[in-house]
Amino acid sequence: MKIQCLKSELASALQIVSKAVAVKPQTPILSGIYLKASEGLLELQATNYEIGIIVRIVADVEEAGEIAISGRYFGEVVRRLPGDNVKISLNREESILHIQSDQSNFTLVSMNPAEFPTVKELDGDLKFTIKDNVLRSLIKKTVFACATDEGRPVFTGCSIDIQETKLTMAATNTHRLAVKYEMFEQRIGKIKIIVPSRTLSELLHNMTSELPTDVTVTCSYNRISFQFDHFFMTSRLIEGQFPDYNRVIPASFDTHVRLDTAAFSGAVDRVSLISRAGEYNVIKLEFANNLLHITSNNPDIGKAEETIVAEIEGPDITIAFNAQYIIDVLKTIETKSCRIDLGQPLTPIAVREAEDESFIYIVTPVRTQH
């Protein structure tokens, strides 16, 4: 193998695939990155069996070939190289990889590429195309609500429920629920799967195109893959049954509120500076007289309060929440104003964007002493 490519592109590709390198590899080869050079492209692969990532970059390929190399050292070396271009060549007899840029030269001991479990493109039961900006919005508005506790695996992923022309994503940690749907012009098929939140967060991190790009999604009974441009990612699915979340969405509400999103977000963020040190990070929201009064009280630290203007329809209500659950959803809301629908002080509330019915966030209040 003998190639030359841009250092910036190689470093960027390595940063992406390194997310799939095993942290505690079951076998040494899983700590490696697989390289394959052919027909003007350099392909980089990594997998930890949970996820697998392939990135392709343009390269001047003088001699085609494949190699596996320590992900950690190769990444560190390339990142620190001084020049704009990198030359990489393999001495097959000694299994040594030569890396050269400007006046800098490195040799790294390679691994046997035949041992590497190469990432295969998925042959699934269901395949469809979605614009990356649409997929970004679906993930961004749901993945934050996933649980982090591995004790109940189904809650650590997002449910993807496809029913012909409707795709619904949902996530819950049992205290809050985020649901967002998207309609398609063509029928896609039917499938219900649970995708690990880590997979979706990693995908979100890589969908950075300014112009809408097609993402090809392929699903099988135990895996999912996403492909766009020179990026391919496959992931295992989470086994189990996602709960029927529609049962926790209240059928009706008594009080309806409209708030300026930025004002509400800023006020909650400031007031929670006091509550944050407490075990439950509790803030109290008092809706009355077209005003929202937000307070927090921590006997060991002090008190905070702030009042903002609110459009209120229905009876006054005082209700308390974990502040982080409110802050998290407000970060995802893209409209100038947001809507809050409330029932009783101990029943779940709904947070929505101003004019968008495709997204709903349900959060359970907390009981306070006074």
Q: What's the confidence (pLDDT) of residue 370?
A: 54
Tokens standing for 82?
């001084």
Q: What's the confidence (pLDDT) of residue 150?
A: 87
d(CA 234, CA 199) in angstroms, rounded, equals 9
Tokens standing for 307?
């009042």
Rg (CA), the chain: 25
Q: What's the confidence (pLDDT) of residue 280?
A: 80
Domains of the chain: 2-115 (3.10.150.10), 126-246 (3.10.150.10), 250-363 (3.10.150.10)
Please tell me the total number of residues recorded for the chain in this structure: 370
Chain centroid, CA 279 distance in Å: 27
> Which residue carries 């079951």 as its tokens?
26
* Contact residues for 118 (Cβ-Cβ < 8 A; gap 6+): 34, 45
* Contact residues for 246 (Cβ-Cβ < 8 A; gap 6+): none
* Contact residues for 80 (Cβ-Cβ < 8 A; gap 6+): none
Q: What's the confidence (pLDDT) of residue 94?
A: 84
> Which residue carries 């977000």 as its tokens?
265
- The predicted model scores a pTM of 0.94
Q: What's the confidence (pLDDT) of residue 175?
A: 95
> Which residue carries 């042959």 as its tokens?
123
Q: How many CB atoms lie within 10 A of CB 311?
A: 12
DSSP string, 290-332: TEEEEEEEETTTEEEEEEEE-EEESS-EEEEEEHHHHHHHHHH
Q: How many CB atoms lie within 10 A of CB 103?
A: 7
- Tell me: the pLDDT tens digits for 275-329? 988 778 999 999 999 999 999 999 889 999 999 999 999 999 999 999 999 999 9
Residue numbers of the chain with a pLDDT score lower than 50: none
Q: What's the confidence (pLDDT) of residue 64?
A: 96
Q: What's the confidence (pLDDT) of residue 37?
A: 97
Q: What's the confidence (pLDDT) of residue 355?
A: 86
* Contact residues for 304 (Cβ-Cβ < 8 A; gap 6+): 270, 271, 273, 274, 275, 295, 296, 297
Phi/psi at 336 (5° precision): -60, -35
